[in-house]
Amino acid sequence: MGYITDGILKAFQLLVTGDPETYSAVFTTLKTTSLSITASLIIGIPAGFFLGYREFRGKRQVRTFVDTLLALPTVVVGLFVYAFISRRGPLGSLGLLFTIPGIAVAQTVLVTPIVVSLTATAIEGLDERMRVTLITLGADRFRIALASLREARYAVLTAAVTAYGRAISEVGVSMMIGGNIKWHTRTITTAIALETGKGDFSVGIALGVVLLLLAFVVNWGLIVLKKRV
């Protein structure tokens, strides 16, 4: 069990001494997750709002499909995205394979259903009397939509936190699409898988501690933001 203690001590040593490999993995992780979360919120919040706010034919089937995507395996996402952006794929000319944007695209596909589903649930849970009151006061559809979204802002932030947690902790997509290239596409999770596979458990635990610290910092920041909005 001594390697666990060694790993924890080594984690702080890597951070304090500014280990270039560790910080390269940290910055790559932050870049990919930031890109994917931004894209998923831009796509997922409007889609989730529409799904929860409007009534249309086939809504139940669409909602069931979106909820099913919450359990989508990361390797399946990686496989399909790889097929699309590989050299022989329809998007091969974009050169996304083994790049940070390529990983971000795959992570966006993975976490967008989370944002859509949780946002739709939040909108559906709003008090119907609020909408009736706004209509009585003469508010148009746009103002009603904005008021509804503002009322559900805490749930939307929760959706963002949940999606970020899924993106920052996944390894299958990053490994398949990024290739785990040192100094280029190696994230913390793929580095953990590599070091553990090599039998260097202390380094793997150290990187795991770094990932936990990073997740705690991000979640703490979002909690502070939630209290201010």
1-20 in b/e burial notation, b at 16+ Cβ within 10 A? eeeeebbeebbeebbeeebe
Task: Specify the amino acid at residue 18.
Answer: G
pLDDT in tens, 111-146: 999 999 999 988 888 777 777 777 777 777 777 777
- The whole-model pTM stands at 0.87
Burial profile 167-189: b = 16 or more Cβ within 10 angstroms, e = fewer: bbebbbbbbbbbbbeeeebbbbb
CB atoms within 10 A of CB 39: 17
C-alpha of 175 from chain center: 16
Question: What does the pLDDT look like over 59-94, one tens digit per residue?
Answer: 889 999 998 888 888 888 889 999 999 888 899 889
Question: How far apart are alpha carbons 104 and 93 in whole angstroms?
Answer: 17
pLDDT digits (tens, 9 = 90+) for 183-212: 899 999 998 888 888 877 777 788 888 888
- Name the DSSP letter for residue 95: -
Give the C-alpha distances (Å, rounded to integers) separating 208 from 19, 36, 170, 171: 15, 21, 13, 12
The domain made up of 33-192 has a fold known as: MetI-like fold (1.10.3720)
Residue 1, pLDDT above cutoff 60: no
- On the CB side of 197, CA atoms within 13 Å amount to 6
